[in-house]
Structure 1
Amino acid sequence: MSVAREHPTPASTARALLAFLALTFAITWGVIGSYIFWPDAMAARFGQISGAHPLFFLATWAPAIAAFTVVVATAGLGGLRRFLSRLLIWRCPAPWWGFILLVIPLVYMIGSTIKGGPLLAPKPPEGVGAMVSLMFMMLLLGPIEEFGWRGVAQPLLQRHVAPFWAGVLIGAIWGVWHLPAFYLAGVVFAQWSFLPFFIGNITLAVLVTPIFNAARGSLLLPMLFHWQLINPFWPDAQPWDTWILVGVAAIVVWWKRDMMFTREGAVTEVIPGEARP
């Protein structure tokens, strides 16, 4: 199982990817599944589950935990430090920064307007300060997943398939990974429909793929991308946000088709400095 050997092979890449996925699903589905099948016992022992519960954080952090485990197991703590250095990569063509900072909020605003909603999420009774606090708390939820999805899974898959297909595969896996939460009372997923969410996951994974490759494997930009998706200031735009993003993704894939359907130039390094296959 290797992500950092002199000549990575298909077998070593597959072992690393399977180890990452197995640990990710074991943690998340183990935690959430326990609350689904034994709700009373789990609530009595650990408290009622919610989006702010420590075990919900653990379930959400599973891709990062799995990524760190795989990296340390194959490259040691030195490899982990080099892996984390990808957080410092910020250089990327300006249009992608504009996409993250401007286009994503506009998608939510347009989707909300179509359904007769506001341009921004309503202010809670606690005031704007509560929304700001929640916005920063969200940094510790979804964006942390990117250590796994874009940190490990994307470069490993791009060793063998074109970026577009790597994005589709990760999006499908990402969607299925969320599935148990749709059967869990006390969290936001219980109020959503799975199919639009699943389609949305694939769409988002495809959309972040050219950003990830243009930024040469940056973890910072995918994390900011993910953060914008759960920013509490953006209004509820379901299901229109999903369908708008599908259209945006189609445009982006066509625009960047030369880089989306070839492995040339795709990021394949999990740890900076490791040999390319």
Structure 2
Amino acid sequence: MTDLLIQQQHTDLKSRTLIGFYALTFAITWGVVGIYIIAPEGAVALFGEISGSHPFFFLATWAPALSAFLLILTASGVSGLKAFLSRLLLWRVSPVWAAFLIIGIPLVFMAGSLLKGGPLIAPMPPEGAGAMVAVLFMMLFLGPIEEFGWRGVAQPILQRHVAPLWAGVIIGTIWGIWHLPAFFLSNTVFASWNFFPFLMGNIAIAVIATPLFNASRGSLLLPMLFHWQLINPFWPDAQPYDTWILVVVAAAVVWWNRDSMLGGKGAVTQVIPADRGANQ
């Protein structure tokens, strides 16, 4: 019976896989975007101007997820990928976290916008609210998909070796640098932003996501919803004030969860969960 239970367990990703994950993720994204930076005229002539609906934009954005899926399939096959995706079904979290996802994040953007003299809600386009809803739906298939890599693979592997706080800082730093080529594309929103506040914001977001991730036992769904709220087109552009508010929120979250963030209690370290039968 013991041998049978052991056979039911999936082969989890080894820690060294993290190097391959980051290398492959950067190679895809920087390779695609780099074409438009190094040879913009030739890239546009061959592939068309890159935009939020261009296939290359999706490819660059989905790089963390594609890298994660490829590495999991290589290590554990289709059954391992199914077990990994079962983390989408983990959704239970405290009411405080639920309130933060639903109410807290919009308040961050609204407060930041007010500080810069902007509106509480993003201005409606000429096409009306329907167009905003369409963009919101499209956003669900952009940034949130990254979480299959950042929180799906990188977070649990890093937490095997460092405290959750430092895992969040590392992920946030690399995540911010991963976005760097987008700041050199003139037709993206990043082109009008300053990179340093953006980087600080990424670190703050990754730190905030860390206790949410661990409290939900490694949920993929909740970090994806968190990410979706961050790029919700209904929230106003509050750069750079929203970044500094998020830094304050991150500091408060670390203090409130200081035992688990610094001590590692309850940290999720499995990329591919063991079968339920193996844990009973």
The reply to whether TM is greater than 0.5 is: yes
Q: Aligned equivalents of 1:50 and 1:110: distance in 2?
A: 29
Letter of the structure 2 residue corresponding to residue 228 of structure 1 = Q
Letter of the structure 1 residue corresponding to residue 15 of structure 2 = T
Letter of the structure 1 residue corresponding to residue 41 of structure 2 = D
Q: Aligned equivalents of 1:89 and 1:260: distance in 2?
A: 20
RMSD: 1.6
Partner of 2:109: 108
How far is 1:186 from its partner?
A: 1.4
How far is 1:114 from its partner?
A: 1.4
Kindly provide the CA deviation profile for residues 172-200 of structure 1, in whole angstroms up to 9, marking residues without a partner as x.
00011001111112111111110000010
Name stretches of at least 5 consecutive residues in structure 1 with no aligned partner.
Answer: none
Indicate whether 1:44 and 2:38 are aligned. Answer: no
Q: Aligned equivalents of 1:157 and 1:248: distance in 2?
A: 23
Q: Aligned equivalents of 1:70 and 1:94: distance in 2?
A: 34
Partner of 1:76: 77
Answer whether contact 1:90 1:218 (CA < 8 A) is retained. yes
Letter of the structure 2 residue corresponding to residue 74 of structure 1 = A
- TM-score (normalised: structure 2): 0.93
Q: Helix, strand or coil for the counterpart of 1:253?
A: helix
Indicate whether 1:202 and 2:179 are aligned. Answer: no
Q: Aligned equivalents of 1:110 and 1:201: distance in 2?
A: 18
- TM-score (normalised: structure 1): 0.94
Q: Aligned equivalents of 2:114 and 2:15: distance in 1?
A: 45
- Percent identity, aligned pairs only? 66
Kindly provide the CA deviation profile for residues 145-203 of structure 1, in whole angstroms up to 9, marking residues without a partner as x.
00000000000000111100000000000011001111112111111110000010000
Partner of 2:173: 172
Partner of 1:53: 54
Answer whether contact 1:153 1:170 (CA < 8 A) is retained. yes
Answer whether contact 1:92 1:214 (CA < 8 A) is retained. yes
1:263-274 paired onto structure 2 within 5 Å: 263-273=264-274
Q: Helix, strand or coil for the counterpart of 2:15?
A: helix
Q: Aligned equivalents of 1:55 and 1:175: distance in 2?
A: 20
Over 3 Å off, 4+ runs: none
Answer whether contact 1:51 1:186 (CA < 8 A) is retained. no
Partner of 1:235: 236
> Residue 13 of structure 1 is aligned with which of 15, 19, 36?
15
Q: Helix, strand or coil for the counterpart of 1:232?
A: coil
Q: Aligned equivalents of 2:214 and 2:191: distance in 1?
A: 34
Answer whether contact 1:163 1:260 (CA < 8 A) is retained. yes
Partner of 1:141: 142
Name stretches of at least 5 consecutive residues in structure 2 with no aligned partner.
Answer: 1-9
- How many residue pairs were aligned? 269
Kindly provide the CA deviation profile for residues 235-260 of structure 1, in whole angstroms up to 9, marking residues without a partner as x.
11111100111111111100100110
Partner of 1:257: 258
Answer whether contact 2:11 2:80 (CA < 8 A) is retained. no
Answer whether contact 2:259 2:265 (CA < 8 A) is retained. no
